[in-house]
Amino acid sequence: MRPSFFHHLHPPSIPARQARFRHTLASGGLAVFLGLVLGITGILEIFYYIPTPGEAALSIQTLTFLVPFGGLIRNLHFWAAQSLVIVSSVHLLRVVFTGAYLPPRRFNYLLGMGLFVLAILLDFTGYILRWDEGIRWALVTGTNLIKSIPLLGKTLYGSLVGGTEPGAATLIRFYGWHIFGLALAAVLLVAWHIFRVRRDGGIAVPPPPLRETQERISRVELVRREVLVMLLASVALLLLSVFAPAPLAPPFTATSPLPESVRAPWFFLWVQELLKLGSPFLWGVIVPLAILALITLIPYILPKPIQSEIGHWFPKSNRLAQVLFIIILVSLLVLTVLGLLPVSY
């Protein structure tokens, strides 16, 4: 059998050791798959979603309850999105912990960080598109954070919100960002990112003399493994979608009661906790950007892994980077857990 187009998108063979599930955790490939699921389910949602304040939440209710399999498509979209944020984080962790960011892969690391930011922004804009009682404060605080930036704040706010306060213009702009602006940027970056993976020599490995084995797997076998992961991931997403429906609250109107729970979406709970400390610009813009910058600059400012150790987990040479990453991860997790605790005044 002659390998197909999809087979040829993959390298002819890759080292068997690094092709193992326990090496990559299938995280990169899974992220691409989740992106695909998001694109397909997203387009299907476009057929029913109406991006106006009066109709948005109601159109989601129509989709969820009245359109055949509409609820399933919405839940798939929701869980694929949340899983993407987690899987992307796992992929980032894997890259740092296997030292796979040495040049020539260093630029691809930056592309990946860009994709990570896009995933978060897509998650947030998608959350706002619900336009139900639950998103109200996230919209207000999120946009006001932009306003808190000195000098540029007001202009950025105006471009983002389309007015002096969140309203119909904001919804349609967020819709535009979500289905096109951010999505297009993500597609371009994914294509570039995958191209770079192949151009930079595929999965990071030690140089041939230093490998334990020269064993490799063919592109056909690699595709088989990917197909397996995609099938299992599909089953997992479907089961999640059936047993854990995406949240939905009554539409947000001028007469809506104040929501009982004022929690940020889960991926911003850590920012919500930080904001309890004081200045919005410092804790809501500077500190998160600083954390992002720190992670982005790992390949540039911290001791680099040596060539002989990359392609394995926990190389000794970039231990500092691993430690820093763990500290940041644990801090964010702790902040997130704090944000999940019941509020007491």
Partner 1 sequence: MNEPKLSRRDFLKLTRTLLLTASGLLGLGGLIRFLSYPSQPLAPTEFDLGPASNYAPGSRTVLPDVPALLVHGETGFTALSLVCTHLGCTVESQPDGFACPCHGSRFDLLGKVKRAPASKTLVSRRVEIGPDGKLHLFTN
Partner 2 sequence: MRRLIVIASALLLLTLLGIAWLESRHVIPVALTPSLTGQVEYCLSCHGDLPEIGKSHPVKSFGCVLCHGGERLALEANLAHNSMRGGKNPADFSVVQASCGGTICHSGSTEGYRDHIQRATTSIQATYAGAIASIRYTFGEQPDLTAHLGTTAIQDSQSTSGITSLEVFNPLLETNPAVLAFGQTCLTCHLFAQPGQTGGRYDHFTGCTACHTPTQSSDLTSIDTKTATQVHKLTTAISYAQCDTCHNRGNYDLRAITFQPRQDTPTDRLHDYYQPIAQFTKCEYTLDCIDCHTRTEAMGDGNLYSNKKQIQYIQCKTCHGTLTGLPQTLTITDPNHIAFRQSLLNPVIELKPGDNVLVTEKGEPLWNTRLQPDGTYELVGKATGQVFPFKPVMGSGCTQDPDDQSSGSCHKCHSVER
Question: Binding residues for partner 2, per CB under 8 A?
Answer: 58, 61-62, 64-66, 68-69, 72, 221, 224-225, 227-228, 231-232, 234-235, 238-239, 242, 245, 248-250
**Neighbour count for residue 55 (Cβ, 10 Å):** 15
The minimum distance between CB 288 and partner 1, in angstroms, equals 38
User: CB-hemisphere CA count at 13 Å for 111?
Assistant: 19
Q: Which does 58 bind (CB under 5 to 8 A by kind): partner 2, partner 1, none?
A: partner 2
Q: Which does 47 bind (CB under 5 to 8 A by kind): partner 2, partner 1, none?
A: partner 1
The minimum distance between CB 29 and partner 2, in angstroms, equals 15
Q: Is 179 exposed, middle or buried (0-12, 13-18, 19+ CB in 10 A)?
A: buried
Residue number, 44 or 145, with CB nearest to partner 1? 44
> Interacting stretch for partner 1, rule CB under 8 A, among 4-12, 28-36, 65-73, 99-107?
65-73
- What's the alpha-carbon Rg for the chain, to the nearest Å? 22
The minimum distance between CB 232 and partner 1, in angstroms, equals 13
The minimum distance between CB 239 and partner 2, in angstroms, equals 7
The minimum distance between CB 67 and partner 1, in angstroms, equals 4
Q: Strand 13-15 vs strand 216-218: parallel, antiparallel, or unpaired? A: antiparallel
Could you say which of 47, 195, 300, 313 contacts partner 1 (CB under 8 A)? 47
Q: Which of residues 26-45 bind partner 1 (CB under 8 A)?
A: 44
Residue number, 66 or 327, with CB nearest to partner 2? 66
> Interacting stretch for partner 1, rule CB under 8 A, among 58-66, 116-124, 210-218, 316-324?
58-66
The identity of residue 125, as a single letter, is T
Q: Name the nearest CA neighbour of 213 among 41, 69, 16, 6.
A: 16
Q: Which does 276 bind (CB under 5 to 8 A by kind): partner 2, partner 1, none?
A: none
Q: Which does 44 bind (CB under 5 to 8 A by kind): partner 1, partner 2, none?
A: partner 1
> Interacting stretch for partner 1, rule CB under 8 A, among 14-22, 64-72, 127-135, 252-260?
64-72
Nearest-angstrom CA–CA distance, 168 and 144 = 17
Q: Is 32 exposed, middle or buried (0-12, 13-18, 19+ CB in 10 A)?
A: middle
The minimum distance between CB 194 and partner 2, in angstroms, equals 23
The structure tokens 């911003």 sit at: 268
Q: Are 207 and 309 in contact (CB under 8 A)?
A: no
Could you say which of 13, 27, 61, 62 contacts partner 1 (CB under 8 A)? 62
The answer for residues whose C-beta is within 8 angstroms of residue 304's C-beta and 6 or more apart is 99, 102, 317, 318
Residue number, 62 or 144, with CB nearest to partner 1? 62
Token duo for residue 162:
């389309």
Residue number, 188 or 228, with CB nearest to partner 2? 228
Task: Report the alpha-carbon angle 279-260-255, nearest 5.
Answer: 95
Q: Is 6 exposed, middle or buried (0-12, 13-18, 19+ CB in 10 A)?
A: exposed
Bond into 104 cis (ω within 30): yes
Residue number, 191 or 231, with CB nearest to partner 2? 231
Binding residues for partner 1 (CB under 8 A) = 44, 47-48, 59, 62, 66-70, 72-73
